[in-house]
Amino acid sequence: MKLGILKAGRPPKACIPEFGTYPDMFEKLLGPATYDYHVFAVDEGELPTSPSACDAYLVTGASAGVYDPLPWIASAEDFLRAAKGRAALVGVCFGHQLMAQAFGGKVIKSPKGWGLGENEYRVLTREAWMTGSEDDSAGTIRLPASHQDQVVEAPPGAEVFAASDFTPIAGLVWRDQPAISIQPHPEFEPAYAVSLIEHRREGPYTPDEADRAVASYNGPDDRARVGGWIRNFLRQAT
């Protein structure tokens, strides 16, 4: 399967030698040999020549806001709309927000402030790609988060499958096309998430926010489980 990774941003330069780029993180999460990966730097104006160039596309995180007046964001939205029904789509963090906005939802800079650290999300629906254990039928997932923007209105055709009190629309599954998206970061290893926090301790995070976020990385998470969900979704959708 050809999986196109639509790179929408990059980690802090100081973090890349140890942890790699966002496409590197997703390849590690999903398995280096699992797909025929193709990376497109959409934040630099690079897009696939056609939605049919790959079987599926995954949109990464970014420091930009989807509402920013950047030409590449509008172009990326146009591409996602053109890909509807022609390729499976997965969005994470910025990708979650970009997909929601592209298909008619609403995204804002949340007055709640930053969502940081490992957070717990309720699993609201049982999906066919949630396989592997009985626990996947309900319960919660715990994943790293790093965002101040939120989807506040789901687009037509999409249903919320994961939520928290802080992030009520934390995961979306589309019923009118093969597409899923999630606000938190299953691709963030805890060591990278902590490094990212430390690099932003003096801005945009406050020291207190950074301290609380670092302290949250003190137990197991569900990164591998959700990575399996993404693999199952892509296998079933393509």
CATH number of the CATH domain containing 47:
3.40.50.880
Parent domain of 121: 2-237
pLDDT, mean of residues 39-58: 98
Task: Count up the domains in the chain and report the number.
Answer: 1
What's the start-to-end Cα distance of the chain, in Å? 8
Judged against a pLDDT cut of 50, whether residue 83 lies above it is answered with yes
Q: Which two tokens stand for residue 210?
A: 């950074």
pLDDT, mean of residues 127-150: 82
Catalytic residue annotation: 93, 185, 187
What letter would DSSP give residue 61?
A: -
Judged against a pLDDT cut of 50, whether residue 134 lies above it is answered with no
171-177: long-range pairs with CB below 8 Å, 24+: 171/96, 171/121, 172/96, 172/99, 172/100, 173/125, 173/127, 174/89, 174/103, 177/84, 177/85, 177/89
pTM (predicted TM-score):
0.96
| Placement of tokens 């490094």 in the chain | 195
Judged against a pLDDT cut of 90, whether residue 201 lies above it is answered with no
SS3 call for 205 = coil
The pLDDT of residue 132: 58
**Percent of all residues in the chain with a pLDDT value above 70, rounded to a whole number:** 97
